[in-house]
């Protein structure tokens, strides 16, 4: 089985190297690939955001239901105490304590959902508004960027001449 795994790992490594070489030779394709990956990440984040919204709505509904049950059992505890039915009052209080513990858990879960939602929202905003530093170095002026562009163009032209045997002039 290890021979098959080794073969697969070698194949995967070879394919990765070929992809890297292709992308180095075709920067436009690399940019398209990066854009596609960004779109896919945004879609995953939007799906996650929708899942979090749905979970938060469900948790809010559970909290409202629990609040209603807690109020009902608080009234029952009161009625049992007024009727001097201590055993029933204690059992009702124990049930009430369990409901309140569930309520605290649900409240904490809702808080965590809010935190997760905020993180996803920040990631989406970062993808939608990439920092300006990615476009150019912060200290680089337009003149410097243009000079670097021209130098790259001149270098590419010189490289093409050398490859074709210097016949272009």
What pLDDT score was predicted for residue 132? Answer: 54
What pLDDT score was predicted for residue 131? Answer: 67
What pLDDT score was predicted for residue 102? Answer: 97
What pLDDT score was predicted for residue 127? Answer: 86
Rounded-to-integer distance, Cα 71 and Cα 59, Å? 18
The number of domains in the chain is 2
What pLDDT score was predicted for residue 168? Answer: 46
Same domain for 40 and 78, yes or no, is yes
Same domain for 80 and 155, yes or no, is no
What pLDDT score was predicted for residue 117? Answer: 94
Same domain for 112 and 68, yes or no, is yes
Same domain for 30 and 94, yes or no, is yes
The SS3 of residue 115 is helix
Instruction: Tell me which residue of 47, 40, 38, 39 sits closest to 117, measured CA to CA.
Output: 47
Instruction: Tell me which residue of 110, 104, 121 sits closest to 58, measured CA to CA.
Output: 110
What pLDDT score was predicted for residue 155? Answer: 64
Same domain for 35 and 111, yes or no, is yes
How far out from the chain centre does Cα 62 lie? 26
Same domain for 93 and 28, yes or no, is yes
Same domain for 36 and 91, yes or no, is yes
What is the residue range of 145's domain?
A: 138-169
Tens of pLDDT along the chain (169 residues) come to: 578 889 989 999 999 998 888 888 888 888 888 889 999 999 999 999 999 999 999 999 999 999 999 999 999 999 999 999 999 999 999 999 999 999 999 999 999 999 999 999 999 998 888 765 445 455 567 777 776 777 777 666 766 777 776 554 4
């Amino acid at each position: 089985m290890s021979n098959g795994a080794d073969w697969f790992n070698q194949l995967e490594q070879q394919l990765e190297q070929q992809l890297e070489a292709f992308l180095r030779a075709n920067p436009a394709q690399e940019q398209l690939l990066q854009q596609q990956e960004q779109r896919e990440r945004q879609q995953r984040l939007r799906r996650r955001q929708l899942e979090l919204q749905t979970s938060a709505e469900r948790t809010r509904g559970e909290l409202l239901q629990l609040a209603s049950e807690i109020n009902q059992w608080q009234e029952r505890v009161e009625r049992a105490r007024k009727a001097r039915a201590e055993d029933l009052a204690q059992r009702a209080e124990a049930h009430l304590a369990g409901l309140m513990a569930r309520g605290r858990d649900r409240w904490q879960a809702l808080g965590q959902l809010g935190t997760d939602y905020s993180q996803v929202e920040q990631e989406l905003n970062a993808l939608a508004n990439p920092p300006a530093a990615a476009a150019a170095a912060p200290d680089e002026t337009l003149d410097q960027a243009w000079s670097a562009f021209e130098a790259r163009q001149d270098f590419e032209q010189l490289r093409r001449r050398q490859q074709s045997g210097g016949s272009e002039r």
